[in-house]
């Protein structure tokens, strides 16, 4: 059997082919373009690569055009963690030398000796991979929006506390269109204090507000004219310019998050597993898309529910040595799926009496903190999700929490 290792880089890649005996059969230095990909495919075909029996490939990344070209057909692609590859390098040399052709050879030998210990990239469908791109981008945009909002809030605390007090009653106030319009109209507290009722009303209407405009105008005018400490005028104006720059970035982040959310809402319901995911309490379109993006739709990816739980980081880790043992939470995990799981477990009790009873039992009887109880509930819910996806069945409250429902009754 032939094994292929590719040490990838931004412009060029090094390729190595070895056989079962560990002999180097061929090596190439290819460019990252269509011509380089053709050389690689021709090299694999020269050593027996066929559509029915493709040569497995090891590489230190799971994305990019090179991986997309290699994933066509039935070929198995193994994305080896760079840290693991560095540990394998020490098996071949103790001098700590490193070279790109040598790393390609190390990757090929990883498959030759330990291919059974590594998991190939899942065979997800194109629509699942497209949803993964959109869901992850929307998640990144949401995190970026919150980061920009935190920066804006921190800056306003330094010179413009009246704005924070005025927007405190609004949910997610700094990200709202009304706040952006008012801050652009009055970037400093001195200018805000001079705003008339007409100017505030016009700003609220430009932001799309239609109800309670007059009452909101009076409240904002009083908040802006309240007695607050001030920075020196020149410093205040400079801070106002800095605030406008951050506000522009925040508006762009809000627009990006909203546009990506619309794209997710359009793409996610088209997937066959969307009906199963949406049947679970606490999973909406956005959160369901994030879960699907991380677990994929290759139902043979995980051998059992325990593998999925470990991948999500919901199952604990038991360490035992001699007479000592400890049970701790899992730190090596899929962080995106783990974050989505916390939000899922946080909202599931609102739509499921069994989930609510399970959460309360973990808090009251076992003494878990909130995060620990949510993690335990997520561990149970994702196990149920694994079963439902394998059988393509909808969530059933009676089957999911029979003991919890009986205790609640």
Q: What one-character-per-residue DSSP string does 291-358 give?
A: HHHHH-S-TTSSSSHHHHHHHHT-S-EEEEETTEEEEE---SS-HHHHHHHHHHHHHGGGT-HHHHHH
**Domain count along the chain:** 3
Kindly tell me if the per-residue pLDDT of 292 is higher than 90: yes
Helices (H) and strands (E) in the chain, counts: 19, 7
Supply the pLDDT for residue 189.
93
71 and 167 part of one domain: no
Shared domain for 25 and 104, answered yes or no, is yes
Cross-strand partners of 319:
326
279 in the same domain as 369? yes
Tell me the pLDDT tens digit for each residue of 350-394: 999 999 999 999 999 999 999 999 999 999 999 999 999 999 999
Q: Are residues 88 and 172 in the same domain?
A: no
- Provide, rounded to the nearest whole percent, the portion of the chain with pLDDT above 70: 98
Are residues 75 and 54 in contact, defined by beta-carbon separation less than 8 angstroms? yes
Considering 79, 102, 121, which residue would you say is the last residue of a domain?
121
| CATH number of the domain where residue 79 is located | 3.30.420.10
Indicate if 117 and 134 belong to the same structural domain: no
Give the relative orientation of helices 213-224 and 197-206 as an angle to the nearest 10 degrees. 120
242 and 139 in a single domain? The answer is yes
Of 250, 266, 282, the last residue of a domain is 266
Q: C-alpha angle 162/164/170, rounded to 5°?
A: 125
pLDDT digits (tens, 9 = 90+) for 87-98: 888 877 776 777
Q: What pLDDT is recorded for position 404?
A: 57
Whether residue 309 sits in one domain with residue 247: no
Q: What is the pLDDT of residue 72?
A: 83
Same domain as 278, residue 238 = no
Assess whether 25 and 58 both reside in one domain.
yes
What is the spatial distance between Cα 409 and Cα 354, in angstroms, rounded to a whole number? 10
Give the mean pLDDT of 52-71.
90
Q: Minimal CA–CA distance to 354: which of 392, 292, 403?
A: 403
116 and 199 in a single domain? The answer is no
pLDDT single digits (tens) 197-239:
999 999 999 999 899 999 999 999 999 999 988 999 999 999 9
208 & 323 share domain: no
Domain that holds residue 9: 3-121
Q: What is the average pLDDT value for the chain, to the nearest integer?
A: 91
Taking the C-alpha atoms of 179, 185, 189 and 194 in order, what is their torsion angle to the nearest 10 degrees?
A: -120
From 238, 266, 294, give the residue that closes a domain.
Answer: 266
Q: Which of 274, 35, 270, 287 is nearest to 139 (CA)?
A: 287
Answer yes or no: do 158 and 247 share one domain. yes
């Amino acid at each position: 059997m032939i094994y292929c290792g590719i040490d990838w880089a931004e412009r060029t890649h090094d390729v190595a082919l070895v056989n079962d005996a560990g002999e180097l059969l061929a090596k190439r230095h290819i460019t990252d373009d269509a011509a380089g990909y053709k050389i690689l495919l021709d090299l694999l075909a020269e050593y027996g690569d066929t559509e029915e029996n493709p040569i497995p490939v090891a590489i230190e990344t799971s994305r990019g055009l090179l991986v997309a070209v290699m994933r066509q057909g039935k070929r198995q692609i193994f994305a080896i963690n760079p840290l693991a590859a560095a540990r394998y390098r020490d098996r071949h040399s103790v001098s700590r030398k490193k070279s790109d052709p040598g790393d390609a050879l190390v990757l090929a030998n990883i498959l030759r000796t330990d291919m059974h210990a590594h998991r190939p990239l899942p065979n997800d469908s194109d629509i699942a991979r497209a949803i993964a791109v959109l869901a992850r981008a929307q998640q990144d945009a949401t995190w970026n929006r919150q980061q920009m909002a935190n920066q804006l809030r921190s800056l306003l605390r330094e010179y413009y506390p009246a704005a924070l007090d005025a927007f405190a009653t609004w949910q997610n106030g700094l990200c709202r269109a009304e706040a952006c319009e008012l801050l652009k109209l009055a970037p400093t507290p001195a200018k805000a204090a001079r705003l008339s009722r007409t100017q505030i009303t016009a700003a609220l209407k430009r932001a799309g507000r239609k109800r309670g405009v007059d009452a909101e105008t009076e409240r904002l005018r009083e908040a802006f004219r309240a007695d607050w400490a001030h920075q020196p005028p020149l410093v205040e104006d400079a801070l106002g310019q800095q605030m406008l720059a951050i506000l522009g970035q925040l508006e762009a982040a809000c627009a990006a998050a909203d546009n990506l959310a619309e794209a997710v809402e359009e793409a996610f319901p088209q997937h066959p597993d969307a009906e199963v995911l949406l049947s679970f309490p606490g999973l909406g379109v956005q959160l369901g898309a994030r879960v699907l993006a991380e677990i994929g739709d290759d139902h043979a990816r995980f051998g059992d529910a325990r593998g999925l739980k470990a991948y999500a980081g919901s199952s604990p880790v038991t360490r035992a040595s001699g007479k000592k043992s400890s049970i701790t939470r899992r730190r090596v995990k899929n962080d995106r799926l783990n974050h989505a799981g916390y939000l899922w477990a946080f909202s599931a009790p609102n739509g499921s009496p069994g989930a609510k009873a399970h959460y309360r039992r973990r808090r009251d009887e076992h003494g878990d903190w909130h995060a620990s109880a949510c993690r335990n509930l997520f561990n149970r819910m994702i196990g149920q999700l694994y079963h439902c996806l394998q059988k393509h069945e909808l969530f059933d409250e009676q089957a999911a929490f029979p003991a919890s429902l009986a205790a609640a009754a």
